[in-house]
């Protein structure tokens, strides 16, 4: 009989995690790796699974997911974020597919909401990510943010969706934007990528135009505009922070030279 493990990485997700865990109660095991949450996330998780590990550090998105993956014992693994829910249709499709497939992984469809409103167009519409895979045929990249799943073998596609609630209120969006832009800037800095004010403005302009115009975000009305603007702002601050990282690096290098003169 095919066994399914679900892995979830958390940090202060008491608003989201209960509904996420409820949606995967059909799984054989649920593994949670928490990065020392200061709210009730851990207590809520322990209501649904005994397999909860609290780590004192945050090594990054990829490394933390690989830690959780190392504890999985299922034939198949589903990786979820705390703000995602498996739809009943997807749960049924998974259970009827996994025991009779030659694929080693599946991409899944995502239906996202902006402040609880479902989006039909724009950057978040028709999103697909590879999240379901045979345990011995997949591993996450070591990226600090937005890691990818590396799979060997054939990848299929399931049709039923994961429902994504990236944030419920505007202040949550602003907090995430600040966190992600900082982590993304640090990742780009470590890769040696450079930036300037002109670069930041150009990337932000393209992010807005792509989502609002080319991907028809304007058809989602107010929320379509807000999403395109949010993505543009996040992109702008990512490259602006990258610019300042290099300026601070140059300043420190100059100070070191002066101190040894």
Q: What is the pLDDT of residues 193-219, one digit of tens each?
A: 999 999 999 999 999 999 999 999 999
Say how far apart CA 166 and CA 113 lie, in whole Å: 7
Query: Strand 84-86 vs strand 155-164: parallel, antiparallel, or unpaired?
Result: antiparallel
Q: CA-CA distance, 163 to 250, in Å (whole number)?
A: 44
Nearest Cα to 181, choosing from 152, 204, 198?
A: 204
DSSP state of 119: P
Is 135 within 8 Å of 75 (Cβ atoms)?
Answer: yes
The pLDDT score that the predictor gives to residue 92 is 96
What is the DSSP annotation of 113-149? EETTEEP-SSTTTTEEEEEEEEGGGEEE---SSS--E
* Placement of tokens 């499709």 in the chain: 93
Q: What is the model's pLDDT at position 260?
A: 62
Contact 56, 137 (CB under 8 A): no
pLDDT the model gives residue 123: 86
DSSP β-bridge partners for residue 43: none
Cα dihedral 106, 107, 109, 110, rounded to 10, equals 110
What's the burial of 228, exposed, middle or buried (CB within 10 Å: 0-12/13-18/19+)?
A: buried
pLDDT at position 172, please? 77
- Residue 210 in tokens: 């792509």
Within the chain, residue ranges assigned H as helices are: 17-22, 41-48, 61-71, 88-97, 170-190, 197-209, 221-259
Residue 169 DSSP label: S
Confidence at residue 258, expressed as pLDDT on a 0 to 100 scale: 65
Residue 239: which of 191, 201, 208 has the closest Cα? 201
Residues of the chain with pLDDT under 50: none
| pTM, 2 dp | 0.81
pLDDT on residue 7: 98
Question: Taking phi first (over 0 means left), then psi (-120 to 50 degrees means alpha), and beta for anything else, what does residue 70 get?
Answer: alpha
- Residue 261: per-residue pLDDT: 58
4: nearest Cα among 107, 92, 129, 112 = 92
Alpha helices in 5-60 (DSSP H): 17-22, 41-48
């Amino acid at each position: 009989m095919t066994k399914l493990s679900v892995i979830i990485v958390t940090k202060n997700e008491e608003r989201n995690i209960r509904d996420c865990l409820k949606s995967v109660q059909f799984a054989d095991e649920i593994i949670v790796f928490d990065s020392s949450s200061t709210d009730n996330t851990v207590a809520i998780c322990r209501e649904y699974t005994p397999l909860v590990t609290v780590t004192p550090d945050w090594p990054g998105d990829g490394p933390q997911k690989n830690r959780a993956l190392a504890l999985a014992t299922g034939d198949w693994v589903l990786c979820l974020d705390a703000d995602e829910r498996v739809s009943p249709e997807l749960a049924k499709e998974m259970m009827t597919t996994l025991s009779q497939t030659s694929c080693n992984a599946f991409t899944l469809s995502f239906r996202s909401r902006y402040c609880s409103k479902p989006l039909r167009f724009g950057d978040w519409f028709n999103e697909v990510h590879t999240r379901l895979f045979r345990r011995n045929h997949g591993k996450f990249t070591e990226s600090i943010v937005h890691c990818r799943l590396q799979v060997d073998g054939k990848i299929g596609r399931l049709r039923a969706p994961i429902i994504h609630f990236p944030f419920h209120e505007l202040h949550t969006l602003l907090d995430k934007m600040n966190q992600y832009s900082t982590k993304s800037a640090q990742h780009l800095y470590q890769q040696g990528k450079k930036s300037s004010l002109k670069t930041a403005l150009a990337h932000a302009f393209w992010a807005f135009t792509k989502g609002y115009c080319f991907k028809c975000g304007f058809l989602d009305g107010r929320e379509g505009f807000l999403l395109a603007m949010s993505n543009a702002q996040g992109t702008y601050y990512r490259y602006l922070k990258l610019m300042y990282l290099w300026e601070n690096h140059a300043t420190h290098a100059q100070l070191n030279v002066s101190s040894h003169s």
